[in-house]
Chain A
């Protein structure tokens, strides 16, 4: 089954899974905490979902401010070993106290990881990060050099990102994946690129696509047609069956008949359910990919744990989203209105993969 068609077996499984999801929401056990430690970046990518620039007005959050919240408002309520802290940006490598941050987080028992564009990830920098307790890392490589450079807009970014991957592969205990934003120029070359990654030694790969909203809506070089999007999902499904490389589609959105075939799990939006973020200005929200204003509090005047326990209602009860095109959708019971990052400030759904299937 694919596209909008759901077989009986999958429908039954999804129904049971949605009941499990309700239980997960009720428990809302914090398992991932993003710390948006900077909005500065050494690139200016076309598709960037963050509000990052080289000369951002927003100052980096002082490490001590984050550690205060961790020590006083989070650690007393969680088992640190079961929570993954993700340093997020901007480009986190522009912070020169990243190693100290990693050491402090590790000393408190938390695992930590980071996403990078790889431009500044030298062998030496990676060694110092691993020494500071780095457990997981993701590097963005958006296909072959022309496609990557179109997005990243820096002639050195492709070579540096590839070198970064080579450095990462020198650490067998380090969890990692390569993240690829698939654009139209890459759709026909995915098989070729897969082989390049495999030959390079990469075994974990994640693909995402850009939905038509904001800056991306006007950029035909970024957006896939509906037919191209289906081809990407078919490629992922085929590759997963082949088993040569661990490939998945990112968490974004309910995928109908492709559910459980292009990811390791059924779709669920974990934002505000098991994932929280502390933004660079102190705002408390769900995933950092949620760019619309669903801020639930701020660490400079609210208690993080009180916010986590008692607010986050828009994330945990999505009935408010059961309107518009979702109102009569048969998939509502499984998708609950899609990912929170697909909603704009007014709550409108900016894009629905399921509805866009032919």
Chain B
């Protein structure tokens, strides 16, 4: 039987709050008016962080050439970091005409001979899905031959969005890896971190705290992940979903299949980090653990407060407008508030109903939720007297025109803003933005234009 997941079933996720309100059309992108990545990219994002597995992209050059080494997902895997390597069959016209299956088999053999990974993820792409290369069969044959898991990932770009691709990546892991190995030992406090990719080392901002509490990260999908660990994931006591709605199908199925409960949380900003740690302790249900977690939170928050003191005066009375999407619409807002900055508006155009609700709660009654940030943000900066615009690069012009400081929200792809310590990174970057003369100088008119 084909391993290809049923896309319709995946799109119909009972655990999603907005499931009842969505229409079929949600999934169809509009030609000529579509932004955002494809399913293949989504699958890549969710699986590439396994540094001990090879990630082989079966397709033409665009798919890998523009995507490898793009994400700073960190690992302490002592072997060669295969996440930061690119493998692709780079199929040619003759492969399109005569099938790329033989090439794929040879490519897998080559990888096993030269790199001996713990597993190989084989990614279908639009072209190889169109020509009908049988990834399932090839992976099965290769697994038999080489004795390590070969995981076909059926998320060719044209089946849908990045979000769907992440789900498909999760499906591939569930079908091929989870439950295929038993852990050497188990503890009552074993958890899986789902959807934490350890971008810029985000996970390491809080992993040591979990460790101190005696909570063991049994496996991750997939930050700093190990194939051997995720194969044992079915023995965890709790699935912790970190900022990733896309993997909710996976955790629901793990709940049905293995009885593993789940919590969904974020480690962005002080309040979220504290609430997240406590939520894990409470879900694990041990009173002593809960008490110890509360004590740890008090200690960490006090430590952070101390370190934030030098920034308090600088941020006091400062107002910010935030223009981003997804869970960042509220999570960054909360982090800014933790720093003592008032968030007067946040964009919710690219956010789910759930995110909008959270944004409303975070900003309070007076905060503006922008449905059309491109038009609204400039006006709001003026009306509210904002000092800082946090947005993607496209909005830089707005900040310069209004003569206020600008910070690129995508900076978090280079530097961790996660956990307690990450908030200090954010504070430092915002301090630099507010103090930088560049934004007024860039707006200065030329002598011949005066």
A, B bound: no
Q: Using a CB–CB distance below 8 Å, which chain A residues touch chain B?
A: none
